[in-house]
Every structure is written in structure tokens, then in C-alpha cells.
Structure 1
């Protein structure tokens, strides 16, 4: 399976013209930045591996992507989470439902910190048949898949754009943004990102953990933005983005990035903006009802 060469389409969001790298179209189960980061493990040739071990949030895009990777490779996924709400166990939805349908074993543990310390602080193969991948693919192994994405962007820009190009994408651990910056900087292509999970300092710490010292341009909102909290402005931004483009975007990460870009663009109208679609649309199955309940008048 080739995870490459997704199309680039032209759109406008409000008064911002931009191109969209459609990485949501990579594969129906394995798409967006997670597919790019995990592609190195998809290509791994180690027939002795039977089990994939990872950890994270019970509704994270990472959970579903890991489950898809394991399914494609014929592995059993063991995914550790801190808690599975009772209502979710009774009514599975979103990434949790999708991962279960792909055969994932989702393990709720009261000793989550102990599990992290034993298995994930320094990811490794704990046994010859078990492969350990950090949360969200936050690993130097992610570099090869992101390098291919960067080359696709360089090739596209050289053939289609005369202006300076700025590439934008939101960040969790920031792995994709960091490695895109590493490979696009020599081509004079700027990378913009925003810290969705923590603040700017948290994101810089994640960058440094991957032993890099040159970082993409980090954009921030004027006020603190809490991960997974529902914001009316995020919902309005998402609605407008979907309406203006005719493309569905992720509700958890993309609205914050576009709010940041709305502040960035007026001083950068000379640049051609390329947005990298992050996939993650299955997560909308659980996020959208939350927004609809809280902001029913919108």
C-alpha cells in the first residue's frame, strides 16, 4: 500500500485563499498525519512481531490509527488508557468504537503512570514479538514518512506556485510539524503550527525530546486554549471551514489552527498558504454531539 501523492485542491476560507493537501484521502482507515508518521512501521519487515503496544487517550486519533496499523499488519494491538467512561463502554462511538471494530484490545489501568514508566518512557521492543510505539507516533522513526510528505510538497510547490509557500498544520506532540520543518527549510518553505495539547513551552519540550534544535514557527491565540474543551469560536470556525470548502475537517485540532491563521494571514498576504489535512474525522462522531448539545442555538 502506497501512502503518498495525495491531491492538492484550491479553496478559500473567509478571505484567505489556500491550497489543501488532502491527506485525509490516503486510506479509508489509515489517513492524515498519523498515517505519515506510522508508515515506517507499516513497511516494517519483522515477521516475528505479533503484538503492537501503545498508549494514549481513549478517544484519540492515535488509538484508531494504531488499530488500523495493527489490522493491516496482522498484529494484536494492546492500547493502554487511563480510563474508559462507563457510558462509552455501553455506547461505543468515535475512535474508541472504530478501534474495537478493528480488533484492538483497549486496556484500562489504575496504574497508568506505572505502565508508562515500565513500557513507554524509553520505547523499545519489550519482547521479541512485541513492538512498542510511543503515543501518537512521537518517535524518530516517524521521520521517514514525513520526509516523503515534504518531498511531495516541494515537488508541488515548484510546479504550481510562484509565491513564497507557508505550510500549516496543528500540533499535538508536534512530530509531523517538526520533521516537515526539517525537510522543507532547505527549500525555503516555512512551516506554521500551533500547540493544541499544551502551550508553546510544552510543544518546544516535545520538539527537544526528538533531539532537534530548529523548530517550526509556532502560532498562538491571545487567550489560553485548553485541549478538548468546547469553545463556541472553535465550533463557528469549523462550521465556516466546512461550508466554505465543502471538505470535512477535524473538530479537535483544526479550528484552533485556523483561528491562529486568521490572525497570521493579514500580515502575510504575499505568501501562498498550503494546509495539510490531518484526517481524524472519525473523532467527529463523538465531538460533534458534544458541541451540538452545548451550542444548540448555532
Structure 2
């Protein structure tokens, strides 16, 4: 039974979250259901993420609390709370921000969400790339790179100001085109699910799709701590823009440990939640 469960996690975990959870969200938003359903779906996705990591961990020690779980939960609650709050503000913002009603509202809802995902992926990827090369952005993004283990909640462990910058870069251009609030809501859940998958400690396989989808096999390389080495695989949903930017990297022989993660230039980056929020205002990038 255990062997069957591990096989299911290895090959079905990604489709269940990437297709199953997102498709459910699309169906709910297409029928104008309450956005509270999305919170329920997010909780389901988090629960599945934790379960998969325990059934089939990439590294079992990464499942153990290192005094960081409460901090990561605080990041998750704050950041996702801000996302849901911003969704409520979209109708009011749309009245003021829309430059031209160019959004293809006549398309099937699922295609609208897919279009939003691909366009947001470009804005977020470019902002992520800039965050490794522009000092003021790096100060805030460094919070995310301070992790010493790789598991689902790490994806939601971000400084809220940096998340706001990334979200604005991904969503603001869509709002200018007339993005409907319902599509934005489905996009928001898709981002949260993607971050769970991208940082998951589950040893799942996506075979050749690992060179196309921005999932954990490729994203681990982004978290290598040595200067310059982690400047790869910036994509959130896809690796398309990394291939175009020539920042894609993958080595199937590489195995990761906690010693390879973090920031060599900032080994003393604070671990506590409030200290991480304050850190970007105290120190500039040192490497």
C-alpha cells in the first residue's frame, strides 16, 4: 500500500494541484461563486502539499520544523490575506485604471485565465530577474532567499512589500486592459498553488515538462546560495522566459542539501518574522 501511495504522489500530485485545484477554481469563478471558495481550495492545496512531502520527501530532514514553521505561517497568512484584500479592491481600481477595454471577455473563461497566467508570468519573471540585479529590490527579495530548507510554504515566505511589487508587475498591465475581477481571483489562486509546487519537498516527477514548467526540480537551482549561481530559473509558471533570457539551468545529477541553500553573502540574515520585515530597511546588499 505504501509503495502505491508513493507512486501516486510521484506521478499524480502535480496534476491534482496544477490541473485539479486550478480547474475547480476556474469553474467556481466562471459561475460567479463567492471568492471564499478560493480560500478553501488554498487550504486543500496546502494540506495536499504537506501530505505529499511526508509520503515522498525529496529530503526527509526538510520536513522537520527548524523553528521556522510559525514564521512561514505568518508570512503565508499575511501575504495571502493581502492578496484576498486586493481582490476585493479590483472592481474599484478597474474603474480608474482601465485604459481601454481590450480584455478578450468574449473568450471562454478558462482561456481568459490561461491568458492572464501567461501574461502575468512575464511581468513577474522580469521583476524577479530585476530583484537579483537591482539593490533596492534585492534587499526585500533576500527574505525569500534566506530559507535553509525547501518545502511548500517557502514559496509564500516573502517580504510583503516585495510581493506587492511582483503582484503589481504581473497584474497591473492586465488591469489596464480590463481584466475582470473573477479572472484575477482565479489567477491569484493559480499563483499560490504554483508557489506550493515550486518549493515543494515532494520528490514528484514531471519528466520532460521540467524544462517547460517552473516546478521544484528546476527552482532548487535558483536557491543555490553562491553568488551568481542562483541567478537562474526565474520563472513563476513557466521557464519560457528563462529560455529566452538564457537563464535556464538544470543538471539531473545535482542533489541538494541545506548547506547549498541560503545566501553565502548574508549568512546572518535574521530568521524571526518581524526581524525579516525590518531587515531591508537596515542593510544594503553585500553580495
Q: Which category of TM-score, normalised to the shorter sequence, fits these structures?
A: under 0.3
Q: Which has the higher strand share?
A: 1
Calculate the TM-score normalised by the size of structure 2: 0.24
